[in-house]
Chains A and B, each alone.
Chain A
Amino acid sequence: MSASSSSEERDLAAMFDDIPDPVKQAHVPRERHPHPPAQPSPTRADYRIRRTLAIGLSVAWAVAVLILLGARNAIAPSIVLFHIAIPSAFGVVALGLALSRGRLGLGPSIRNAVLFSLVPPAIFLVIGLAFQAPMGPDDQRDIVQCGAVEALAGLVSLGIAAIGLSRSQVTNGRWRGALLGSAIGLLWAGLWGIHCADSSRAHVVLAHGLPVLVFAGAGGVILSRVSRAS
């Protein structure tokens, strides 16, 4: 925290001292040896196993889809950079942030969650609009079909993430879910760059880029509900 913000905080605390406290002291009857509730609850080891399984399953699913659908024939270095490496790198960063412990162990701050949920997908869309990659005559693909297959394949990853992260966070669920959705979408967009040969602007933006935003939205709605721990 900077010196100016801490002095600002001291001023704020001094100002708030004007307001009396309506609750003098909260008396809680002291139990000598309070016992935890009798019902069983998952420990950290259970969460670890579930999370590791979810990551393993997601990777296996992505590899299986790529093997099943196949990779494109020729990939120019510019395509590797703009359509594969950049969204994948953004996806890894967003995923790392979404799973990070944060300052207090409550996950990433809302500012970072909002920023990394929205900015990387936006940058990927701008890259898609700005960059026209070289294409062969047989490389054209149907936008709706390609986008739908990518979205469906990614939805499986979202479902795996929902199971892996269920009941795992106590605060800031909506944006953390959106961040995770955005990460999954970006990783799938990178993977789709390996599979889909159509590198035209419209195709990349609509079929590869838009699903990322859909995933961010779906993450905010679905993952925020299932991941709430309390």
Chain B
Amino acid sequence: MTRSDDEVEADAAMDRYAEGDDAAFAVVHRALAERLRAFLVRMAKSPSVADDLLQETFLRVHRARGSFVKGGRVVPWGYAIARNVYIDHTRTLTHKREKLAPGEDDPAADIATGPEANSEEASIASDLARVVERTLAALPRNQREAFVLLRYEGMSVADAADVLGATEGAVKLRAFHAYEALRAALGMENQKRRKSA
């Protein structure tokens, strides 16, 4: 994966932050916040939970800053920490999994609601997004995270493997299983739609 100028700047800022320069935190925060929040929303499926987890992630980034290796890449490092935060969250909350309430906390409701989308397209897109979201949530964590990193976070297989602590083959296989489950779910949704039309 080639690094953008922003990533190079963020890596340099993280290097400074690891050496004790607190002012560099703002650059690191800017580079990571949106990406990690998107990742956490996709994993936790709730924006409000993701916000809490994001805050916890930055707390851990701060605590672990000294362990950031000189010349390392801050984005995968941040994803690895966010993933740990999410895993800890699921471990403590397995008995009371939060249910998504429709409305502003529903990430699927955000999709295809631009002014140019007509109501039918918006409804179809929203339904499909809900199917994807439900199916993703039902997948085993290791399949979900592999798929999310490759499909939505735009990571290479090698980078995702390093973040997840898995082999490249395992990451591909997990993502492919997730893809098959999502394709099957979307196929069923389309069939249902055709029957009702």
Let me know if A106 and B77 touch, CB within 8 A: yes
Is A200 at the interface (CB under 8 A from chain B)?
A: no
Residues of B within 8 A of A33 (CB): 26
Residue of B76, B84, B163, B175 touching A230 (CB-CB under 8 A): B84
Let me know if A18 and B183 touch, CB within 8 A: yes
Interface size on B, residues (CB 8 A): 77
As a 0/1 sequence over residues 103 to 129 of chain A, the CB contacts with chain B under 8 angstroms (1 = contact) are 111100111000000000000000000
Let me know if B162 and A19 touch, CB within 8 A: no
Residues of B within 8 A of A47 (CB): 66-67
CA A26 – CA B111 in complex, angstroms? 11
Let me know if A16 and B77 touch, CB within 8 A: no
SS class, residues of chain A in contact with chain B: loop
CA A9 – CA B1 in complex, angstroms? 12
Residues of A within 8 A of B37 (CB): 26, 28
Residues of B within 8 A of A16 (CB): 147, 150-151, 175, 179
CB closest residue in chain B, given A102 = B162
CA A46 – CA B25 in complex, angstroms? 18
A sample of 23 inter-chain contacts (CB < 8 A) reads: A9-B157, A12-B157, A16-B151, A19-B186, A22-B108, A26-B38, A26-B41, A28-B33, A33-B26, A34-B33, A37-B59, A39-B63, A41-B64, A43-B19, A103-B158, A103-B162, A104-B72, A104-B77, A104-B163, A109-B167, A170-B77, A230-B60, A230-B85
